[in-house]
Amino acid sequence: MSAYVLGGGVAGIAAAFALRARGHEVTLLEARGWLGGRAFSRPDARLAGDLDNGPHVLLGCYSEFRTLLRRIGTEDGFARPEALRVRFRDPGGRAGELRLPALHPVLGFPLGALRCRPLTLGGRLRLVCGGLAALLPVRATQPLAAWLRRHHQDGDPSRYFWTPLCRAVMNADPAEVSAKLFLATLRRALGSGARGMAIWTAARPWQELLGAPAERALRAAGVSVRGHARVVSATCAEGRVQTLHLGDGETLALGRDQTVVSALPWHGFARLFPGACGPAAARLEGAPIVTAHFTLPATAAPRDEGPIVALVDGAPFHFLCRRPGDAAERFALLSGGDPGLGAAPAPEIEAAARAQLRRHYPEADAAAGVVRVVREARATAKFTPEVAEARVAPGPVPGLANLLVCGDWTATGLPSTLEGAALSARMACG
């Protein structure tokens, strides 16, 4: 048996390993010259170093993605705290934090929430109740904002906890996304021990943690990895994929025992297999992530408060992120799911980033240094309650006997994340 895997992101890499382990001859076709998909870094002359396309974080409970990291030997390239710790910055510069003790989150969350400093006592008690309510069943049609209102989480619990967490996990505002999907991730984290809720941050550029080591490990496992191999069209007939056409004019004809695994993003899949994608993939929209990478003189930079700081009521930027081990003068502001910013010109984004740095860090000299803007227009799929319920299942595609599909947008029960992508590959090919 042999298989073509289309796309060398997390899902494609994990699918290629899974198929190879089952004895298939595997060829991975990737459009770009490197693997890693939406989590990558490239050298940047202006900032004199490797620049991530955007900061990626994981939760300790991302077990499928961690299995992939162990397979390629890079799990130790992340800062791995013992429990959840998130810092906050209010507009005006007041700092605070939510820090859970290293106990099982069922105990640790209430204890941490009760000590969460910027919140009033009433806000802290409501947050504890919200954490407990997250364990109850939830209606599939409910947006997260409605769930928050129903469980009295408006105001401080939402500003300091739920909204930043929703931006981090779903890359959107709570009004836009499925409560069920968001709470599925939270429940997984709550159920997997103190370390499962901890936020892991990459201590090295993503190309060193994912793309390059994955390519080496795939080749060592006997997978044929072909870069610059964009599949531009596919011919389907008699209920099968018959040929794949590459951008350089090459045609790959598929024999009876050959399978195609699509690990493309939703828009790539819909373009290649328009009849097979169903209404869900056709209706899926992307949400952008915009990152403003700062390099300020040491005296002008904000103090290092850890890898992630949630910017409370922050707009258009929601987090300040630092790579552990980087000099204090290097950091990034990240905007998740703001469609206006995704389409704005770079100078406008830079001006917005500097203005916001001034608001949340009045002590920094926001006018100094260099800012490099990176935009990812379709960083994640946006799962409204309606779209979330209509996702395509990872696995065989109805009507095409030799086509399987996976990717972070397929129906894994998780949002569009590194973990969702890795899980989809196991569901489709494991």
Q: Which residues contact 232 (CB under 8 A, 6 or more apart)?
A: 245, 246, 247
Q: Give least dist CB 184 to ligand FAD, A.
A: 14
> Within its chain, how far is the Cα of 252 from the centroid?
32
Using alpha carbons, list the distances in angstroms from residue 59 to 78, 257, 333, 358, 398: 11, 39, 20, 30, 33
**Among positions 19, 28, 57, 165, the unique one binding ligand FAD when judged by CB under 6 A:** 57
Name the residue among 362, 342, 428 with its Cα closest to residue 392.
428
Nearer to ligand FAD, 35 or 148 (CB): 35
Nearer to ligand FAD, 166 or 364 (CB): 166
**Among positions 153, 261, 408, 429, the unique one binding ligand FAD when judged by CB under 6 A:** 408
**Among positions 3, 5, 11, 61, the unique one binding ligand FAD when judged by CB under 6 A:** 11
Site residues (CB under 6 A) for ligand FAD, limited to 174-233: 230-231
- Single out the segment in contact with ligand FAD by CB under 6 A; choices: 32-40, 123-131, 356-364, 387-395: 32-40
Fill in the per-residue mask, 230 to 269: x = in contact with ligand FAD (CB under 6 A), - = not in contact.
xx-------------------------------xxx--x-
Question: Given CA atoms 29, 30, 33, 35 in this order, what sign does their dihedral have?
Answer: negative
**Among positions 41, 53, 163, 178, the unique one binding ligand FAD when judged by CB under 6 A:** 53
Two tokens, residue 266: 């939703």
Residues 341 and 379: their CA atoms lie apart, in Å, by 13
- Asked whether the beta carbons of 229 and 29 are under 8 A apart, the reply is yes
Using alpha carbons, list the distances in angstroms from residue 410 to 116, 245, 383, 391, 429: 36, 24, 11, 6, 13
Residue 429 within binding range of ligand FAD, rule CB under 6 A: no
Nearer to ligand FAD, 92 or 247 (CB): 247
Two tokens, residue 26: 């595997």
Other Cβ atoms less than 10 A from the Cβ of 52: the count is 23
Nearer to ligand FAD, 295 or 417 (CB): 417
Site residues (CB under 6 A) for ligand FAD, limited to 361-380: 376, 379-380
**Among positions 3, 7, 69, 162, the unique one binding ligand FAD when judged by CB under 6 A:** 7
Residues in the site for ligand FAD, rule: CB under 6 A?
6-12, 29-32, 37-39, 53-54, 56-58, 230-231, 263-265, 268, 289, 376, 379-380, 407-408, 416-419, 421
